[in-house]
Amino acid sequence: MLFTKEEYKQRLKKVQKSMEEKGIELLISQDTNNMNYLTGYDAWSFYYAQCVIVHLNADEPLCFVRAQDAGGAYIKTYLKRENIIAYDEK
């Protein structure tokens, strides 16, 4: 990770504060910059379906990636394994 876990947690709190102010309960972003900003996830799989999901009251976002990219997510993010959701392309 390029930043500390605390830095990512502060970023999440800023996003959640903005969500609350705008009345947004759930935010889904497929933008790789947003995924990286919120989780540290940095992969060259941006041309496949992937996203970060932020709930207003969650301690961590969910990271939704292809099964073959899950290893990178485990290594490059601060997220607990259960918050990295890997899907099979079959």
For residue 47, what pLDDT is reported? 65
For residue 39, what pLDDT is reported? 95
* Percentage of residues in the chain having pLDDT higher than 70: 94
Lowest-confidence segment of 29-38, 43-52, 77-86 by average pLDDT: 43-52
Task: Give the global pTM.
Answer: 0.87
Residue 90: pLDDT above 80?
no
Q: Using an 8 Å Cβ cutoff, are 69 and 43 in contact?
A: yes
Helix, strand and coil content of the chain, in percent to the nearest 5, comes to 45, 20, 35
Residue 74: pLDDT above 70?
yes
**Distance of alpha carbon 72 from alpha carbon 90, whole angstroms:** 20
Domains of the chain in sequence order: 5-87 (3.40.350.10)
